[in-house]
Amino acid sequence: MKTAVLTHADCLGHVTPEGHPERVARLEHILHALEPLDLQRVTAPLAADDDLLRIHPERYIREIRDSRPTEGFRQIDGDTFMSPGSVDAAYRAAGAVVRAVDMVLGGEAPNAFCAIRPPGHHAERETAMGFCLFGNAALAAKHALDHHGLDRIAVVDFDVHHGNGTQDLLWDEARALVITSQQMPLWPGSGRPDETGAHDTILNIPLAPGTGGAEMRAAYEAQAFPRLRAFKPELIIISAGFDAHQDDPLANLNWSTDDFAWITAQLCRIADELCGGRIVSTLEGGYDLNALAEATRAHVEELMKAAR
Ligand SMILES: [Zn+2]
């Protein structure tokens, strides 16, 4: 069975103002880089509001829908904008992760990558921020737990920014282990080690500016992987941001493309040990177009190797 890649042209219809780092070209570069690969290509459905209600209150979902401008842009946060296509893009992004969970848990794909935007890990329960509208990774987690009846899932977030939204949405969720590494200090400022959740199921791993591959690997081997193995998740969800790359303009970590391949391979190995290899990965950040495309391809190629 082949690795599934879920995407939709609507995700290219979410347009941001000139010069904004979270731009249409990001996904175009990724899709181009994935083109030669032998993948199971899946058109992402629109999420149902019942799906979104697992993580956001109804008034927030309505507010996002009502914020859609008929032309131009509407700014809904310091750095989050909506264009006429943003609502459809956000519903496709959320729909992609739901479908990806269904495919992986239903045996239709061994693992899956959602090539979507807008990203999701900064969206809190009632707050859109950091380029994010709906909390895609947390939605995948809740869907796996509540719809499929899993008892334990894990989210691993290696985006360079703290996954404050995922942390907020899963703060009270004892069935979800959330492991997130982030450059500190860096926007949004949260993600200290003492932020551990209502049930001690959140592990924050701050990394100092300049942290390279060797130190990142040591941190994951010492902290993240033992927690994962102890928790024994039945599905691993990855918030795959590629902005810890040394070429990224928004942050100051020094990971190479090989480091993204390494962390993916390790997570695939752990998923093999614990949960039949089941991984659902979803795109978060990554703002140097070439580094983003190269690292995403390396990530997907590792998922493909694990799928064999
Ligand atoms: Zn990021």
**pLDDT for the residue 210:** 98
Query: Between β-strands 4-7 and 80-82, what pairing exists: parallel, antiparallel or unpaired?
Result: unpaired
Alpha-carbon gap, residue 245 to 261, rounded angstroms: 12
Of 210, 198, 199, 267, nearest to 239 (Cα)? 267
Sheet containing 4-7: order of strands: 40-43, 4-7, 111-114, 279-283, 236-240, 153-157, 176-183, 202-207
Share of the chain above pLDDT 90, in %: 100
pLDDT in tens, 6-51: 999 999 999 999 999 999 999 999 999 999 999 999 999 999 999 9
pLDDT in tens, 222-265: 999 999 999 999 999 999 999 999 999 999 999 999 999 999 99
**pLDDT for the residue 308:** 77
**pLDDT for the residue 34:** 98
Mean pLDDT computed over every residue of the chain: 98
**pLDDT for the residue 157:** 99
How remote is the CA of residue 186 from the centroid of ligand 1, in Å?
Answer: 10
How remote is the CA of residue 249 from the centroid of ligand 1, in Å?
Answer: 11
Alpha-carbon gap, residue 166 to 244, rounded angstroms: 18
How remote is the CA of residue 67 from the centroid of ligand 1, in Å?
Answer: 24
**pLDDT for the residue 185:** 98
pLDDT in tens, 39-72: 999 999 999 999 999 999 999 999 999 999 999 9
pLDDT in tens, 190-224: 999 999 999 999 999 999 999 999 999 999 999 99
* Domain ranges across the chain: 4-307
How remote is the CA of residue 106 from the centroid of ligand 1, in Å?
Answer: 30
Catalytically annotated residues:
122
Q: Which CATH superfamily is domain 4-307 in?
A: Histone deacetylase domain (3.40.800.20)
